[in-house]
Amino acid sequence: AKSFEIEIFKSVADGENVIRIGEDVAQNQLVIPKGTLIRPAEIGGLMALGITFLRVARLAKVGIISTGDEVIEPSQQPKMGQVRDINSYTLSALIQKSGGEAKRYGIISDQFEALKEAALKALSECDVVLITAGSSASTRDMTAEVISQLGSPGVLVHGINTRPGKPTILGVCDGKAVIGLPGNPVSALVNGYLFVVPVIEKLLGVTPKPRASVQAKLTVNLSSQAGREDWFPVKLIGNRELGFVNRKSEIVNYEAEPIFGKSNLIFTLASADGLLKIHPDATGLSAGEIVEVMLI
């Protein structure tokens, strides 16, 4: 070829390898609506537009109070009848993962005035208050009474028809959510997913989206009490590279294997990939059924 000529080896379709004006973002287009969670892709889009500053919602501050004379710090060696504090740390991690800011108020003894004082302090400094333990029906149960005295209207629900987490308390005190979670670690964390995360998202103004989930084939029969919502931790078995998130398809690449254990055994959740829900109108699920597993 001559110096002023080019040689073309194949034909080119009209528009091939060309980004048209407005193809990515059109003029006057709303690129990120209010309530959008800023992910890596959104950050990339903002940088492409030269937008280096953005007004965002303040992190929701969540106060966590652990109660119980038997509860000690994880760094301590437990004596007979003592347990290490698990809940305030698992809940702190969940809160931070969900876009909140966790503030621990330590371990409070089973003394009404001490718990009330800690709860009032947390309520004055935070947007949400969590109190773990003390919400099972016993003579030492003070959580509901404390919440009822923090502000109006106080306790809205004392006990839910869910397993795990039946003794959960839901309240609102002077416009702020106050939640009493069971002391058992699995119950506390599962109900953290169910109740605490949505509250944080509401405070952040995040537009609700479906929870990430996968379909899987149940490996064993699961029984449930009619009228009660049951949640089971499950392990997903299969080729993870072929898994589909939020995909409604007949192709199922996972098996869901329930992890059985009492609600005070935290490693049942540590070993789980997700949670399987049995609806209140069902009495169980059969092996081989296709189920939806909420990823955690």
d(CA 135, CA 160): 12
| pLDDT score at 264 | 73
Residues 68 and 193 in one domain: yes
| Domain boundary pick from 173, 204, 235 | 204
More confident residue, 153 or 109: 153
Instruction: Evaluate whether residue 54 is within a structural domain.
Output: no
d(CA 88, CA 250): 40
d(CA 63, CA 61): 7
Residues 217 and 152 in one domain: no
Instruction: Evaluate whether residue 25 is within a structural domain.
Output: no
Instruction: Give the chain's domain count.
Output: 2
Q: What percent of the chain has pLDDT over 70?
A: 92
Residues 65 and 194 in one domain: yes
β-strand partners of 205: none
Residues 6+ apart with CB under 8 A from 125: 61, 63, 103
Give Cα separations from 133 to 88, 109, 137, 167 (angstroms): 10, 11, 11, 9
d(CA 20, CA 15): 8
pLDDT digit string, tens, across residues 176-213: 999 999 999 999 999 999 999 999 999 999 887 788 89
Instruction: Record the pTM.
Output: 0.83
Residues 228 and 256 in one domain: yes
| pLDDT score at 246 | 46
Segments forming the whole domain that contains residue 279: 213-295
Strands (DSSP E) contained in 174-245 are 176-181, 213-218, 222-223, 229-238
